[in-house]
A and B are shown apart, each in its own frame.
Chain A
Amino acid sequence: MLRRLLFAVILIVGCRPSDRPTVRQSDRIVSLLPSFTEILFAIGAGDRVVGRTTWCDYPPAALDVPSVGDGMPPSIEAVAARKPDLVVLYNSGPNVTAAQQLERIGIRTVLLDMNRLEDLGPATRTLGRLTGHEQQGESLATAMDSLLHHPPPTSTALHTLAFIVWDNPPIIIGAGSYLSQLATLAGARNLFDDIAAPSAQVSLETIAARNPRWIAVLSDSATPPAFARRREWRAVPAVRDGRFLLLQGSLFGRPGPRSAEAVRQLKALLAR
């Protein structure tokens, strides 16, 4: 769903170097990012996850874990109520503050970057170390790294796209987001990769002028988004002709172990 993408995307600001965590196994982990939750379950540490955000919906087993809120910002009390010995947070300004507050009440925290696909490897290895699942962590990390090392198929002029996360005002995804990388890996070109930021507001006429072949939106429904019916959006040929890539929120809304699957799905959609 749109909001899941936004949850990930809008928090992608101002990276800071992540802390080097100490080597100690944790038994009760609260994960405050869907990507981390997925990774923890994927490396076999799912049984140690005692708290998650409302957005963490994969794998299905994660839904049995109690939620500590939407994490924006994290509720210190809800997190503390789970009595964790480790809290894993996405590295952003508000979360740095939350981490400091948790540390003050004696809860260990670790802040990890998760903006682009290359962040997956290091995060996975770190989580592997922290949970004593180094081997699983290493193998998963290697698999995710290899995603990046595949030479992307040469994109033909046919497969140009723009990701629209909001319509009024129009907000697109830029090069700084993993979504742009997914597009490249699937053989498509994000026409707004000249913008370094993960997301940015642009004029509608710029979208129309660049004329992407596809408009990609995060959506769990089968129908085109509401803005497709607005007259001014129909100046964009892809909107007028209904060339939408409707990307499932859970799969595309976050970088994670399923990113390879996301690339495959995107390729399939483009091939239609």
Chain B
Amino acid sequence: MKWALLFIVAGLALVASVLVGPAGLQSDIVWNLRAPRAVLAFLVGGSLGAAGASLQALVRNPLADPFLLGLSGGAGLGAVLAIALHLPGPWALPIAAFIGALAALVLVYRLGRIGGDVLDPRILLLGGVAVGAFAAAITTAIVSLADAAELRNAFLWLWGGLSSASWDAVVLISVYIPIPLLVLLGASRPLDLLALGEEPARYLGADVEVVKRRVYIAASLLTAAAVAVSGVIGFVGLIVPHLARSTWGHRHRALIPAAFIGGGALLAIADTLARTVVAPRELPVGVVTALIGVPVFALLLRRWTVA
């Protein structure tokens, strides 16, 4: 049965992520560094998968990725400001990134609202791209004007990495993500209906405006947390929903949990590879997900066009 298989794969990915690494099996390292990192990778990957699945239904675009909504631009700007202004404290960077992502969320949301309370998904997408590009431009301007060298490392952070994982971070994320996830799950049926279009969905009983608002905010909150903790890890939110859909179909009741588990497994595997492939050096995780994601995406595209 497909769920059993998925759980097995996820379990194996997690176990491998905990046991495999350049430092071998020293118990300190496994417990203090690798285990929290594996769990965090799973939670972040799962959040991105679930957010991606819901967003693709919300904006009615199978190419939607959680980072299309401008959140990564906002987070990058926040991170760069934190570094440029030398904000104190070990949590300065993730907090600033999170606030930056939230600011982008609010901005894109306001752009997406046309005439009263109606959220237009196409404008959400366009607004997201615009806000993201704007934030990226400001970020680049800051980098070129300020302490260039240090800020270039901020770009490395942006490429994604789980090196800051600790049990503290795991606890924080574990406490934070259940509510947005539950909101997304609760919106499963309306999301199924939204696939037919807003008008048919309304006539089939969906409260479309409420659903759009909730799904957008919940998915963005999940993405903002992921970015704050681990930078921009692309392709997970884009590919995993499609992979899940090929097995579980379009019923979001099954699709969202499957995308969560699948995304978690994928990121755990990608992170393990990032750690081991060029050991003792490490690749940014975003690079690994892109290297895996692009061929997979090409395969998916071929299947669609051939079918």
Size category, B interface: 35 or more
Asked if B23 and A205 sit within 8 Å, CB to CB, the answer is yes
Name A201's contact: one of B32, B36, B156 (CB within 8 Å).
Answer: B156
Given A203-B279, A208-B33, 9 other A-B contacts at CB below 8 A? Answer: A2-B150, A72-B149, A169-B163, A170-B163, A171-B156, A202-B280, A203-B21, A205-B22, A232-B166
Asked if A203 and B149 sit within 8 Å, CB to CB, the answer is no
Asked if A205 and B161 sit within 8 Å, CB to CB, the answer is no
Asked if B281 and A168 sit within 8 Å, CB to CB, the answer is no
Smallest CB gap from B153: residue in A: A166
Q: Contacts A169-B157, A202-B280, A203-B282 given: A209-B26 contact, CB under 8 Å?
A: yes
Chain A residues within CB distance 8 Å of chain B: 2-3, 6-7, 10, 70, 72, 165-166, 168-171, 192, 194-195, 200-206, 208-209, 226-227, 229-232, 234-235
Cα–Cα distance between A169 and B163 once the two chains are bound (Å): 6
Cα–Cα distance between A6 and B280 once the two chains are bound (Å): 21
Asked if A205 and B275 sit within 8 Å, CB to CB, the answer is yes
Cα–Cα distance between A170 and B165 once the two chains are bound (Å): 12
Asked if B280 and A3 sit within 8 Å, CB to CB, the answer is no
Chain B's nearest CB lies how many Å from the CB of A71? 10
Q: Contacts A168-B163, A169-B157 given: A3-B147 contact, CB under 8 Å?
A: yes
Chain B residues within CB distance 8 Å of chain A: 21-24, 26, 28-29, 32-34, 36, 88-90, 92-93, 147-150, 152-153, 156-157, 161, 163-169, 275, 279-284
Q: Contacts A3-B150, A194-B280, A203-B280 given: A230-B164 contact, CB under 8 Å?
A: yes
Q: Contacts A170-B163, A209-B22, A230-B166 given: A201-B281 contact, CB under 8 Å?
A: yes
Cα–Cα distance between A157 and B169 once the two chains are bound (Å): 35
Asked if B280 and A206 sit within 8 Å, CB to CB, the answer is yes
Residues of B within 8 A of A2 (CB): 150
Q: Contacts A168-B157, A229-B90 given: A206-B149 contact, CB under 8 Å?
A: no
Asked if A169 and B280 sit within 8 Å, CB to CB, the answer is no
Cα–Cα distance between A168 and B147 once the two chains are bound (Å): 17
Smallest CB gap from B23: residue in A: A209
Which 5 A-B pairs have CB atoms at the shortest separation, nearest pair first? A209-B23, A6-B149, A232-B166, A231-B166, A235-B32
Chain A's nearest CB lies how many Å from the CB of B40? 10
Cα–Cα distance between A194 and B21 once the two chains are bound (Å): 18
